[in-house]
Amino acid sequence: MGKNQKGYGIVMFEQFQRPYLLFLIIPLILVALYQWKTEKIGAVLLIQSDRFQKQKSFFSTKFRFILLSLSEVLFYIAGIFLVIAAAGPGERYKLTPDSTNGIDIMIALDISGSMVNSYDFLPKNRLTVSKELLREFIQKRLYDRIGIVVFAGAAYLQSPLSSDRFALDELIIETSDEDINEQGTAIGDALVLSTYRLKDSKAKSKIIILLTDGVSNTGKLDPETASYAAKTFGIKVYSIGIGKEQGQYEVNYESLESISTGTKGRFFRAESPEILQEVLNEINGLETVELPSKPMEIHETHFPSALSIFFILLGVAGLLILYPLTEKL
């Protein structure tokens, strides 16, 4: 087994799509042997025409004898390649990706009005900055599966766990504070929904990245109960409190820290775009674990090559037969 430049183990198999057709080669060989022994070389493939009778005295020459003998052999070899082409020759490459490292991540993004109406992240707002930095973060996580939950007064699934970086990027770009009509900050609901999407994950490491700038003031579940559910399924919560403590909108840092500590995650404060970027860079350095990769199989057909050889041999054999017949008397 070798490796290609992309780090894939390669196992190559010679194979035929219709191998049973190869048995046709056996009677072809038997016929060739029978004719070789019972008839003169060259007479087998020639039509016994009047013209042939006039010229057969020339066939005793050594050169013409060789041409006719060779043409007969080429006809049978061409027949063998025709059978091979019909059998569907090819190679099967089994690509087994090397062990990759990754974790399953759900991003819970607060898109409430305070993320847009605050002024501490000027010239942009908190939501715009968060979206830009999350897009960068997602592109760095090459081997992770990432899902997105957005929340304000209610929580909604934006994307299930996916490794499609392009689709995730487009979803982040399109996310707006107008996506949810319900007012408020339902942190507990966002955590529960994220937990639900991660609970059946087979990854050894599962985390929720919670970005919010507010206090949980609505929703069906409180953050403490939701964090307990995450802990039960072995999910770590990395919560990020966005905005300054003395800002226009209050941030409950103590609650966020309690959520993270209870799930063996970490709490971060991001009071500026620069700090938020540092926080996401730090989370980017989280532990990774091996994820199983399914092998891929690629079939490369050699049918055109076998058929080309058949036509070439057939053409050469035909020319070798025609040459003696076109000689002048």
DSSP per-residue string spanning 194-218: HHHHHTT---S-EEEEEEESS----
Give the model confidence (pLDDT) of 104-120 as tens digits. 999 999 999 888 887 77
Domain limits, the chain = 2-94+296-325, 100-291
Render pLDDT for 193-242 as a digit per residue (tens, 0 to 9). Answer: 999 999 998 888 899 999 998 788 888 889 999 999 999 999 999 999 98
Q: What is the pLDDT of residues 86-105, one digit of tens each?
A: 888 887 766 655 555 578 99
Sign for the pseudo-dihedral over CA of 77, 81, 83, 84: positive
Nearest to 241 by CA among 209, 281, 213: 213
| Structural contact between residues 233 and 201, judged by C-beta atoms closer than 8 angstroms | no
Using CA atoms, how far residue 259 sits from 61, 222, 229, 278, 322, in Å, is 100, 11, 11, 21, 90
Token pair of 39 as six digits: 């008839």
Provide the β-strand partners of residue 158. Answer: none
* Highest-pLDDT range among 48-52, 63-67, 211-215: 211-215
pLDDT level of residue 175 (50, 70, 90 thresholds): very high
The mean pLDDT of 11-22, rounded to a whole number, is 70
- ∠ CA 267-135-200 to the nearest 5 degrees? 65
Q: Which position has the token pair 């050594």?
A: 62
From the centroid of its chain, how far is CA 85?
31
Q: Is residue 106 a contact partner of residue 208, using CB atoms and an 8 Å limit? A: yes
pLDDT at residue 140, as a whole number? 86
Which residues, listed in sequence order, are joined to residue 8 by a DSSP beta bridge? 97
Q: What is the pLDDT of residue 42?
A: 47
Q: Which CATH number fits domain 100-291: 3.40.50.410, 3.90.1150.10, 1.10.10.10, 2.60.40.10?
A: 3.40.50.410
Asked whether 199 and 230 are in contact (CB, 8 A), the reply is no
What is the DSSP-derived secondary structure letter of residue 18? S
